[in-house]
Structure 1
Amino acid sequence: MKIMEGEQMKSKLVLLVPILAGVFFVGSVRADISSTITKVKPSVVIVGTYKSTNSPRFSLRGTGFVVGNGSVGGSNLVITNAHVLQQPAEQDVEAALVIQLRVGKDEVQMRPATVLEVDKLHDLVLLRFDGPPAPSLSVRDSSAVQEGQAIAFMGFPIGGALGFSPVTHRGMISSIAAAALPTPSAQQLNEKTIRSLRGGGSFDVFQLDGTAYPGNSGGPLFDPETGEVLGVVNMVFIKGTRESALTNPSGISYAIPSGFVLQLLQRGKAN
């Protein structure tokens, strides 16, 4: 009888250990993403336009994030999508380009910004903003990113309709596939474009299983454990090239690999 009781106790312990391990694992994952969000949040900015005579004076265009320039104490450089800077026909083209960043817990500052470098091929742009530097994110080489890898992304979905506090989503890389570029018009043809077309006119992008919204465009796709940038969320340029045959847009979201961000940063430093 005692032998049977001992065996039953061992069986219960064997069952209990995986359960406790699972609880510990879930708790540690939640703690990791919470600390990563705290780390990433100060580097995520709103990109928009401002003019004192407009109503509203500020217009949100998308999300951006501060990237390092090798200096100590932060940076004044921001990465976002190039299409974020394109002015809708109904807006004032004279409105100034600005970014809004959070300083401290409650204060939000608006800073004038200028364009340093544009990569139209990959829909990326490098900006510099005025004033003191802000905390920057580290950009990782995306060549090692794999399908099934866990990711997170942060931004201001639906044009700030949910408020101007950055929102975080989690997901994974569901596919790494080529994004075919639209054929340029005769006016857009140049040596660089011709070389790209000869090379197939496409580049690899990350397809995500998490749903992003237009206001997320330009926001960082990052490693949920380290906060390192793996890509740039894109809701217009890539969706238009990959899903142009669809009558209704799908819930699929995309991101531009961070390798192209590193190339843009190198060109910006060279200039």
Structure 2
Amino acid sequence: MHRRAALAGLLCLSPALHAGLPELIASAKPAVVLVGTYAETDSPRFTFRGTGFVVNEGRSIVTNAHVLPDPSSLASERRVVVQLWRGPGRWEMREVQNQALARVHDLVLLALQGAPAPVSLRLAGESLMREGAEVALMGFPIGGVLGFAHVTHRGVVASVTGIVLPQASAQTLSPAAVRQLREGSFDIYQLDAVAYPGNSGGPLFDVATGEVIGVVNMVLTKGTRESALSAPTGITYALPIRHVHALLRQPPP
């Protein structure tokens, strides 16, 4: 009974609630979160690292694995947290714990500590989207340089193409990653949409239904990381949502 009561107030975004992009943006904001680290001794105390979004009836957060710091680099007083949006200029910090990891697909599922988040995004099925489909991505480009505010960019699925994601270092090459490299690439969405550093880990929406169809992963740059800000290519990559479904099916650690 207690679990039913706790979940009764959750809002799961669905096609029935979706009436257009402005409505989708307004309803999705509470489920798109800041991901970072927190320590009393840091200045600022919260350090932004990327975007995430709420799934699993408010109990879990999806983001890119590369958004999280290397555990060996975390001091004992620093911990990974998310910030839930509670209205303009209002954020609620919550601790998270690793729930499931797919290093090969650069995805991680984080268990939200405490009560479930009040809004959870609805995931699309596991079929790939057709090229030409209208999409929108939401996140926090450029981090907190201009203050933390949700930003939405619109575009289309330009291509469904094969890719093997680069590994950060030889130390991250797990047996599963080595098998993936040997077996070849997996499908990823190439988008005709602008994203920037800070968008990593954010949701990619099907504009027609309001469902999440992917996770923003990386941006094609012309040269340095700074060029993504001064001269964006307008080419962004997103991981299909089928890989998030696979994470959700993993047994708890």
Normalising by structure 1, report the TM-score: 0.75
Superposition map of 1:1-271 within 5 A: 32-68=20-56, 74-87=57-70, 93-94=75-76, 95-104=78-87, 107-134=90-117, 135-182=119-166, 190-200=174-184, 202-235=185-218, 239=220, 247=223, 251=233, 252-267=235-250, 269=251, 271=253
CA contact (8 A) 1:36 1:225 kept: no
Measure how far apart 1:204 and its partner are: 1.0
For the residues of structure 1 that align with 2:170 and 2:182, how far apart are their CA atoms? Answer: 16
8 Å contact from structure 2 (residues 62, 107) kept in 1: yes
CA contact (8 A) 1:115 1:127 kept: yes
SS in structure 2 at match of 1:157: coil
Distance (Å, rounded) in 2 between the aligned partners of 1:100 and 1:187 = 30
| CA pair 186-83 structure 1, distance change in 2 beyond 3 A | closer
Query: Distance between the aligned counterparts of 1:159 and 1:184, measured in 2?
Result: 21
Which structure features the higher share of strand residues?
A: 2
Q: Which runs of 5+ in 1 are unaligned?
A: 1-30, 69-73
Quick check: 2:138–2:202 contact (8 Å CA) kept in 1? yes
- CA positional deviation for 1:165: 1.7
Match of residue 8 from structure 2: none
Per-residue CA distance 1:169-192 (angstroms, 9 max, x = gap):
111001111113447977555542
| 1:59, distance to aligned residue in structure 2 (A) | 0.3
Distance of 1:216 and 1:144 partners within structure 2 = 21
Q: Give the root-mean-square deviation of aligned CA atoms.
A: 2.6
Residue number in structure 2 paired with 1:23: none
Can you list the C-alpha shifts for 1:188-218, whole angstroms capped at 9, x where unaligned? 5554234323311x11111111110110000
CA contact (8 A) 1:137 1:228 kept: yes
Q: TM-score, normalised by structure 2?
A: 0.80
Checking the alignment, whether the CA contact within 8 Å between 1:64 and 1:79 is kept in structure 2 is yes
State how many pairs are aligned.
226
Unaligned runs of 5+ in 2: 1-18
Question: CA offset at residue 108 of structure 1?
Answer: 1.2
Question: Contact (CA 8 Å) 1:99, 1:110: kept in 2 or not?
Answer: yes
Deviations 1:122-158 (A, max 9, x none): 0000001222211111111242401100000100001
Change in CA separation of 1:67 and 1:54 when aligned onto 2, cut-off 3 Å: same
Q: How far apart are the structure 1 equivalents of 2:168 and 2:52?
A: 27
Task: Work out whether residues 50 and 67 of structure 2, in 8 Å CA contact, stay in contact via their aligned partners in 1.
Answer: yes
Percent identity of paired positions between Structure 1 and Structure 2: 49
Computing the radius of gyration from Cα coordinates, the structure with the larger value is 1
